[in-house]
Structure 1
């Protein structure tokens, strides 16, 4: 019991303390300018927790954190606290920290199935918002294993399957949920969307299969037509086998007719054109004309195999000469055609013969899917210089 003397001293001290408020304002009081800032320092009123909790700058928060993670409390209580902490991070859209909190709660291994299921479904939601669909689906599966009829786990599992385009599995998740919750609108919406997407995917797969079958049929027919005509495709070189010093006689790897493929028909990548067969069974080739004197070229995307070279030359040079022909000498009657065979032998081509006749020649090989020919002006100075030292053979 406090003595009357001490009580009197205490009262006198309190009176003196209270008297100060009449003449001195409280220095740390809130005012209109700083009250929001000061409130945000109080843990109860904080809108967002700081990234790092320093005991010096945030002693109250550090104290609360030590209480939250107190190992002396029951596992269920600690797991629930971490769940709530994760929920707060989730509300702030800080999904990475939410995942850390939910994971810490799961590591406690408490015996409460309800808490563990919620931790898993909440972590699945955080993974889902981060785009980690596989991790989200795994958490939904784990939650469903604990509680097969947990609504949020069923919905999240279906949504993950939708994002992963596993529409059949999404429908299975929805059906499992609708057996327990027949009127749930979210499950009904997801199932309807999954069924629609599944039907569309199956339709696209059927179309792709039919298209692939048609393309293979056309490809086989094209190969058969090329083989039947005796046209040789120059295939890309294959690296020699280790320990083998042998080379092809002509220096290039030419496919035997029994192994003829379209691997060499790669001009479509560069020019957008490739050989095709029309309804009448005629082949149309992309053909390249080269003019080495002027370093120019012409590209004919559809040169019918039955057409003669002179027909194209008349169209190209018969009416209007190209702008690079300053001497006006590239006239159809002045032009000579050649193709380069193996070992750099030039073969002269009669412009009056058809493309097919040349392609059938024993020394002609179609390179990169595009027959090519050199065009020179007969008896010009460049013509003589170009042919000097070269072997020339006439068809």
Structure 2
């Protein structure tokens, strides 16, 4: 009996395929020198899943993923699958991917509050390891709304408060957890640590408050001392590009005394000794050479010549002409509002000059200009400027 024509054609095609198969090597087979790479493409043997799955590159893995996360499965089943995936990532310490998996699980909005509480709590743990303590705290609070007695959520919330230096809140969360399990070791240890840190924080706050109070009292004493001497201060401007002068007759004494005990740019400050005498940080400027000297404590009863004798007892290195001798120096202060200079007698005390009607102390640091008398620089420097002599 003859074979039908279709069957004969099929056999011919099969014979043709076998002949071709025997004559040509199979191109999809494993290569001995690349067997590890080939095995790593098979989901069962993968050492690590790729961060992004391309169906063309990993068709087997894409197929498995579509089966695992089949949208036809219930939200609870899908959320649980994402939870398990997140747990695997967490064990591998891949916390970023764990956060993503737990988030996907929460997006399923399943009706199981316990499962959602676990997803929030686990995501909080991953966020905690990433250093995102506020995000972690937000998650444990969401978990506790669903399950108030969830002990893991309470423990992780207390940890977050501890990291955020919310010591009182950490103690409170530990107390709530210990009401559920009075022997929970982590809570007991954490509570002891948080309570200790809370007490230290409270102690430091009390010290800071006492220090602030002392500084306020010191500022008030300093202000009263300045007021009694009729010394005028220039305060920092409150408006744009403006300075506001405040003399001792001002009624706003609280604002005037603010910052009187603060250090200036040179690290010195105005001081009042036990005899009630003021010592000022004072700046000397030498415009001829763009040089300066800073005296951290110029006693108000000291004379200018006394300091000049000390500063120029030995010639400074920048005075190459050796002309800055104490007896030849002239001291001035500037009235910037009037663009005028006032020559100060070297035998004057600092207090006598600060009490001058046209002297205003800026930044709590009196400043003076020093030039060599009868020098060419001094003549050019003073040319066109009005100069008054202080008696």
Range of TM-score over shorter length: 0.7 to 0.9
Alignment of 1:368 onto 2:369 = no
Alpha-carbon distance, 1:181 to partner: 1.5
Match of 2:351 among 344, 353, 356: 356
CA contact (8 A) 2:215 2:261 kept: no
Alpha-carbon distance, 1:240 to partner: 7.2
Please give the alpha-carbon distance, in whole angstroms, between the structure 1 residues aligned to 2:58 and 2:332: 88
**Residue of structure 2 equivalent to 1:20:** none
Unaligned stretches of 5+ residues in structure 2? 1-13, 19-24
Cα–Cα, structure 1 residues 265 and 294, in superposed 2: closer, same or farther, change >3 Å? farther
Please give the alpha-carbon distance, in whole angstroms, between the structure 1 residues aligned to 2:122 and 2:299: 67
- Map 1:58-69 to 2 at 5 A: 58-69=58-69
- What TM-score do you get using the length of structure 2 for normalisation? 0.85
- Map 1:182-261 to 2 at 5 A: 182-239=182-239, 253-257=244-248, 258=250, 259=252, 261=256
Match of 1:273 among 268, 291, 308: 268
CA RMSD of aligned residues (A): 2.8
Cα–Cα, structure 1 residues 200 and 296, in superposed 2: closer, same or farther, change >3 Å? same
Alignment of 1:106 onto 2:100 = no
- Map 1:1-395 to 2 at 5 A: 28=29, 34-239=34-239, 253-257=244-248, 258=250, 259=252, 261=256, 268-317=263-312, 319-341=313-335, 342-395=337-390
CA contact (8 A) 1:265 1:368 kept: no
Alpha-carbon distance, 1:53 to partner: 0.9
Cα–Cα, structure 1 residues 90 and 264, in superposed 2: closer, same or farther, change >3 Å? closer
Cα–Cα, structure 1 residues 387 and 28, in superposed 2: closer, same or farther, change >3 Å? closer
Q: Which runs of 4+ in 1 moved over 6 A?
A: 24-27, 263-267
Q: Equivalent residue of 1:288, what SS?
A: strand
1:82-117, Cα deviation, whole Å (9 max, x unpaired): 111112222333322222221221222222233212
- What TM-score do you get using the length of structure 1 for normalisation? 0.84
Alpha-carbon distance, 1:27 to partner: 8.3
Q: Equivalent residue of 2:109, what SS?
A: coil
Alpha-carbon distance, 1:388 to partner: 2.6
Please give the alpha-carbon distance, in whole angstroms, between the structure 1 residues aligned to 2:322 and 2:344: 23
Cα–Cα, structure 1 residues 264 and 359, in superposed 2: closer, same or farther, change >3 Å? farther
Alpha-carbon distance, 1:294 to partner: 2.4
